[in-house]
Each structure stands twice: as C-alpha cells, then as structure tokens.
C-alpha cells in the first residue's frame, strides 16, 4: 500500500468517526470539539498534497476564528439536554441511509484515489461528453493546470499570481459580494428592532424645560373641575 | 523499513534536543523573572537553594509534581485531563519552526510565519476547555476572559506580522532574518514594534494584561481547580509561550540569530527582561479598558501601519 494512501485512509476514518460523534453526541460542546478534529484532518489532507499555505489558512480561519466563536457561544447558552435527546430520536432512520451512503463514498475514494492526470479524469467522464468537447478539454492552458503550478513554485505564489488574482479572480470577487450581501442582510433584518429601540429611548428622554415650568395650578386639578 | 527507522530516530533525537532545551530555558526563565523583579524592588530574590539560588526552579518543579492531583467530582474528566496537555503540546510544537541560526532549525517550511500564527490560534482551546471542564464559575469566567483577550489581541498582532511579511517579501522565518542584514526592521517599523510588544504582552496574558490571573478578583482564573502536574503543565506552557514571543520579536525586529548565536540569544533574553520589566512597573488594566485598547486603539493603528508599509514598499519598487 502506498504510504500516502494509508495516511489518507486513516485521516478519512478519523473524519468519519468524528462525524458520527458530532451527529450523535448530546452535549453540543463535544460536537464542536469533534468538528475541530475534522478541520485538523482536512488540513492534514491538504498537507499530503504539499499545500502548506492552504492548510495553514484553513486552520487559522476555521479552527482559530470560527470554531472558537461557536464554542464561546455554546458554552454560555443554557442547554436542555433532555429536549435534544427527544429530537435526536426522530433522525434515527435517516442515519442508517446516511451511513450506507458515506460507506459507499469512502469505498469509492479508497479504491480510486491517486493524484491523477487531467487526461485520465477526462477519459473517465468522456461518456458524458461529445468527442469535440473532450478534445477541447484535453488541451488545457497551463495556467489552469493547478497541480503542476502548485508543485512548481510555492503554493502562495501560485495562488496569488495565477489563481486568486489571475484567471479565477471573478470567483474571488463574487465570493466577496456574497459576503457583503450576508452582512447587509443581517443589518437589514435587525434594523426594525434597532429603530424601535431608538424610538423607545426618544420617548423616555427627559424634557427639563417643561419639568421646571410645570406649576401646581396647571397640572393638579380637582376631579370635579375636569368633569 | 530501514529508511523509516532512520527518519524516526533522526526526528526523535532532533525533537528531544528542542524539547529539553526548551524545558531548561523555561525553568531558568522563571528564575530570571524572580531575580530581575527582586533587583527592581531592591530585594535579593531566591538565594537559598543551590549557589545564588540556581537550583530554585528544580525545587519548585519537584514540589509541584509531588503534590496531590485533585480532580473535582463534577468536572468533565476527559477534557479536564486533555486541556493542560493541549496547552503544553502546542507551546512545544510552535518551536519546531523557530530558527536558531541560518542552518539550525527543526523544520524549515516555506510558510513558517503562517504556521506560527495558525498553531498559536489553537492555543486558546486549552484555556477555554480548562475553564469549562472544571465546572466552577470562577474557572469558567477566567477562561472566557482569557480567551476573549487572546482572540482580540491576535488580530492586531497578525496585522503587524502581515506588514512585516509585506516589508520583507517572504513568509519564511530564515529569509526574514537574512533580509535584516543591512538594517534591522525596528528602525523603519518602530511603531509596529511598540504595537507588537503590547500585543505580545496581552497575547501571553502577562501583566499589565494579566486579567485571567487577577488574584483579587477571580482567585486565579482558568487554572483554579488544577493542582500538581496539571498546573505545572499550564505553567510550563505559559512560560514557553512567553519565551517564544520574545524570540519572535527578536527575530522580526532585532535581526534574529544569523551569525553570532550568543548575540542572538542576548536579543531574545533582552526582550524577555523587558517583559519582566513591564510586570514589575505597571499596574493591571481593568477589563473594559483592555478591550477598548485592543479594538479601538491597537487595531486602527495596526491597520494604519499596514497601509503605510504597503505604500512604502510600492514607492521603493
């Protein structure tokens, strides 16, 4: 067995076990801890194909920022464990189907995994393509051949000069726009609440002038007089 | 098979050298701290055990290990055991990419600076988990405080490191050291150095930002429930992080360790002494002041420095 393949099998096994634990564990903190282990395994898989930069960024963003916030929030929420157990029972049937699917995917990965040439990949999918299309695909410009680019120089250089700010910059920009929409959407949803709160505060504001000018005769009246 | 054996032996020996050196360094860093503070406060400091107190750290370590290990009955026992191990392991792993010379390094990887940033961001988990698993409110509050502090000051430190990367044009630690042959980065990036120093103090939970360990308010922060070996591991991890931060500052701003190793070590020790100097002189911050400083003062300044460095690099090109 190839040593890289063996490592990959071990990592995928860890990921699978951790996924099961995430789904089945009653305490959400255990779920998040297992999520962190999965992120670590993904980073290790990226390291096996010599993409140090991506692996470091993956850990920095997912483990260092996102999972910490999850953990922070979940720790401070008071969780009703009995309720969670009841809702978990509903999903038991789907779990069996899911496990069969995951086993199938992992089997395919184990039997078919190696870093393949582009021609082989295209040959696998050639039945879905017409001959002219597959001929077009085999002649790929060098800037799209990521694996060779990544192994030729350092991966950060390739990503900077060729992928993110080069041929694939449109996807980068689109990701930025989606992020912006997400931020604006959150502000829009909570805007009504903010405005309502502001009105409430305005109503509560102290009017010193009217308070000082208030007199006994004008404010306090006899009940009969009003009638 | 022979090849694998050779790799394992070589890696094991190398890591053993790094770990033993680090542990001895940590032991004497605690002694250095007590001695320097004593000198600043006109005392003698520890001078009973061994010659001028040189064996004091060994005696302290022995005392810690021989104490009784207490596990609270309500604690989450697995996570309670894992948390100090995690803190200690991560503080050791960080040293694998620190270069102590042009050739002498455990692993010279291309993205060394990023590796340090990524792994040190995992270090927060040890503290959060220790606070949560103890199942005591003091430990929990201490853990939350400490984690919030470390996360928020990591941003400013990351921006300063980013501007250094931009200025040096590389993310390999050895190349950053070699690029400072003509002029140390402290000269063009002096404001960055000050900001990085403050952030490093907050990042390692040192005074004046030692909120997690505020004895008067929180009894001792996240490690309240820990005794004996667990506490010793937290202690070792903390001091290993302090030494790492001082060596990192020396590498990024003071030229690092290129030719003369004694001179290079002196740079690191001088940074360590200035950490202790700050501890002996400044009073502790209040928590809201700490957050205000982190998000509203250091972060905008760090962004400003980054913009300045980018424009400087573009002008030179």
- Over the stretch B240-286, which tens digit does the pLDDT of each residue have? 999 999 999 998 998 888 778 888 889 989 999 999 999 889 888 88
Judged against a pLDDT cut of 70, whether residue A125 lies above it is answered with no
Question: Whose structure tokens read 């076990």?
Answer: A17
By C-alpha distance, the chain B residue nearest A60 is B118
Select from A53, A59, A68 the Cβ nearest to the Cβ of B147: A68
Number of Cβ within 10 Å of residue A101's Cβ equals 10
At B146-166, the pLDDT tens digits run 888 888 898 899 999 999 999
> Is A52 in Cβ contact with B132 (below 8 Å)?
no
**Residues of B at the A interface (Cβ-Cβ below 8 Å)?**
79, 109-111, 114-115, 117-119, 121-122, 124-125, 128-129, 132, 140, 144, 147-148, 151, 154, 171
Select from B118, B132, B151 the Cβ nearest to the Cβ of A60: B118
Number of Cβ within 10 Å of residue A142's Cβ equals 9
Judged against a pLDDT cut of 90, whether residue A7 lies above it is answered with no
**Residues of A at the B interface (Cβ-Cβ below 8 Å)?**
29, 33, 36, 52-53, 56-57, 59-60, 63-65, 68, 71-72, 75-76, 154, 156
At A78-91, the pLDDT tens digits run 777 777 777 777 77
By C-alpha distance, the chain B residue nearest A75 is B132
Residue B238: closest CA among B127, B147, B134, B158: B127
Percentage of chain A beyond pLDDT 70 is 77
Higher pLDDT, A45 or A129: A45
Give residue B224's pLDDT band: very low, low, confident or very high (50, 70, 90).
Answer: confident
By C-alpha distance, the chain A residue nearest B116 is A56
The C-alpha of A56 sits at a distance from chain B's nearest C-alpha, in angstroms, of 6
Judged against a pLDDT cut of 90, whether residue A177 lies above it is answered with yes
Alpha helix positions (H), chain B: 2-40, 56-66, 77-93, 112-133, 137-168, 173-178, 190-203, 215-218, 228-253, 261-281, 287-292, 299-316
Judged against a pLDDT cut of 90, whether residue B198 lies above it is answered with yes
pLDDT of A146: 66
Higher pLDDT, A153 or B237: B237
Domains and CATH numbers, chain A: 2-142 (1.20.120), 149-227 (no CATH)
- Which whole number is the average pLDDT over B110-129? 88
Torsion of CA B63, B65, B68, B73, to 10 degrees: 140
At B5-15, the pLDDT tens digits run 888 898 889 88
Residues of A in contact with B129 (CB under 8 A): 33
Judged against a pLDDT cut of 80, whether residue B20 lies above it is answered with yes
- Which whole number is the average pLDDT over A39-58? 86
**A51-84 in b/e burial notation, b at 16+ Cβ within 10 A?**
bbbbbbbbbbebbbeebbebbbeebeeeeeeeee
By C-alpha distance, the chain B residue nearest A63 is B122
Select from B128, B129, B171 the Cβ nearest to the Cβ of A156: B171
Rg for chain B, CA atoms, rounded: 20
By C-alpha distance, the chain B residue nearest A53 is B111
Kindly indicate whether the ipTM for this predicted assembly is greater than 0.95, answering yes or no. Answer: no
pLDDT of B207: 80
CA distance B16 to B196: 31
Give residue A2's pLDDT band: very low, low, confident or very high (50, 70, 90).
Answer: low
pLDDT of A75: 84
Percentage of chain B beyond pLDDT 70 is 97
pLDDT of A122: 62
Alpha-carbon distances, residue A4 vs A39, A47, A149, A215, B6 (angstroms): 19, 11, 21, 89, 19
By C-alpha distance, the chain B residue nearest A153 is B110
Give residue B194's pLDDT band: very low, low, confident or very high (50, 70, 90).
Answer: very high
Residues of A in contact with B124 (CB under 8 A): 64, 68
By C-alpha distance, the chain A residue nearest B125 is A68
Residue B65: closest CA among B192, B236, B180: B236
Measured CA angle at A23 (ends A22, A25), to 5 deg: 65
Question: Whose structure tokens read 């790492």?
Answer: B244
Higher pLDDT, B1 or B126: B126
pLDDT of B270: 92
Residue of A51, A55, A60 to mutate for B, most B C-beta atoms under 10 A: A60
> Is A72 in Cβ contact with B118 (below 8 Å)?
no
Alpha-carbon distances, residue B232 vs A36, B80, B124, B222 (angstroms): 26, 14, 18, 14
Residue of B81, B96, B114 to mutate for A, most A C-beta atoms under 10 A: B114
Which sequence spans correspond to the domains of chain B?
A: 68-316
CA distance B268 to B28: 14
Q: What mean pLDDT is reported for chain A?
A: 78
Q: Which of A25-34, A37-46, A74-83, A184-193 shows the highest mean pLDDT?
A: A37-46
Residue A12: closest CA among A133, A127, A147, A113: A113
Rg for chain A, CA atoms, rounded: 30
Judged against a pLDDT cut of 90, whether residue A179 lies above it is answered with yes
CA A10 from chain center: how many Å? 24
Judged against a pLDDT cut of 70, whether residue A131 lies above it is answered with no
Size of interface A-B (CB pairs under 8 A): 60
pLDDT of A51: 79
pLDDT of B107: 78
Judged against a pLDDT cut of 90, whether residue B299 lies above it is answered with yes
What burial class does residue A220 get, using C-beta atoms within 10 Å of its C-beta: 0-12 exposed, 13-18 middle, 19+ buried?
A: exposed
Residues of A in contact with B109 (CB under 8 A): 52
What burial class does residue A16 get, using C-beta atoms within 10 Å of its C-beta: 0-12 exposed, 13-18 middle, 19+ buried?
A: middle
> Is B118 in Cβ contact with A56 (below 8 Å)?
yes
Residues of B in contact with A152 (CB under 8 A): none
> Is A68 in Cβ contact with B110 (below 8 Å)?
no
At A136-167, the pLDDT tens digits run 666 666 666 666 766 677 777 777 777 778 77
> Is A52 in Cβ contact with B115 (below 8 Å)?
yes
């Amino acid at each position: 067995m190839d040593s890289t393949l063996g490592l990959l099998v071990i990592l995928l096994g860890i990921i699978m076990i951790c996924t099961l634990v995430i789904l089945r564990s009653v305490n959400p903190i255990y779920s998040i801890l297992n999520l962190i282990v999965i992120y670590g395994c993904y980073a290790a898989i990226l390291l096996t194909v010599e993409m140090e930069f991506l692996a470091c960024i993956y850990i920095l963003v997912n483990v260092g920022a996102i999972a910490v916030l999850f953990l922070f929030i979940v720790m401070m929420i008071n969780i009703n464990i009995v309720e969670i157990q009841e809702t978990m029972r509903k999903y038991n049937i789907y779990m069996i189907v899911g496990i069969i699917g995951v086993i199938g995917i992992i089997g395919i990965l184990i039997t078919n995994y190696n870093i393949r040439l582009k021609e082989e990949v295209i040959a696998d999918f050639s039945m879905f393509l017409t001959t002219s299309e597959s001929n077009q695909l085999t002649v790929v410009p060098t800037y799209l051949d990521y694996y060779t680019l990544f192994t030729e120089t350092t991966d950060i250089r390739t990503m900077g000069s060729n992928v993110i700010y080069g041929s694939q910059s449109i996807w980068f920009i689109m990701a930025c726009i989606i992020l912006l929409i997400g931020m604006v959407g959150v502000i829009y949803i909570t805007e009504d609440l903010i405005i309502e709160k502001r009105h409430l505060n305005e109503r509560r504001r102290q009017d010193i002038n009217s308070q000082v000018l208030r007199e006994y005769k004008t404010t306090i009246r006899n009940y009969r007089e009003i009638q | 098979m022979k090849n694998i054996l050779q790799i394992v032996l070589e890696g094991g020996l190398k890591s053993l050298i790094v770990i033993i050196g680090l542990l001895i360094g940590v032991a004497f860093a605690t002694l250095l701290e007590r001695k320097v503070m004593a000198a600043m406060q006109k005392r003698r400091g520890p001078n009973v055990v061994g010659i001028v107190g040189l064996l004091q750290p060994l005696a302290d370590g022995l005392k810690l290990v021989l104490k009784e290990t207490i596990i609270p009955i309500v604690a989450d026992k697995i996570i309670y055991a894992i948390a100090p191990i995690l803190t200690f392991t991560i503080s050791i792993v960080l040293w694998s990419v620190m270069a102590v010379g042009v050739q002498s390094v455990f692993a010279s990887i291309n993205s060394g600076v990023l590796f340090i940033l990524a792994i040190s961001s995992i270090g927060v988990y040890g503290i959060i988990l220790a606070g949560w698993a103890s199942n005591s409110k003091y430990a929990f509050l201490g853990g939350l405080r400490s984690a919030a502090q470390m996360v928020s000051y990591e941003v400013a430190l990351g921006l300063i490191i980013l501007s250094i990367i931009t200025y040096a044009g590389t993310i390999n630690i050895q190349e950053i050291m070699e690029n400072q042959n003509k002029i140390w980065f402290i000269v063009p990036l002096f404001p960055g150095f000050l900001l990085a120093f403050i952030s490093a103090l907050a990042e390692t939970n040192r005074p004046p930002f030692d909120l997690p360990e505020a004895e008067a308010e929180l009894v001792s922060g996240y490690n309240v429930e820990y005794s004996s070996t667990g506490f010793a591991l937290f202690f070792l991890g903390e001091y290993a992080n302090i030494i790492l931060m001082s060596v990192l500052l020396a590498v990024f701003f003071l030229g690092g360790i290129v030719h003369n190793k004694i001179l290079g070590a002196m740079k690191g020790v001088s940074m360590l002494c200035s950490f202790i100097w700050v501890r002996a002189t400044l009073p502790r911050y209040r928590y809201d002041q700490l957050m205000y400083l982190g998000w509203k003062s250091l972060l905008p300044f760090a962004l400003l420095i980054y913009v300045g460095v980018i424009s400087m690099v573009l002008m030179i090109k």
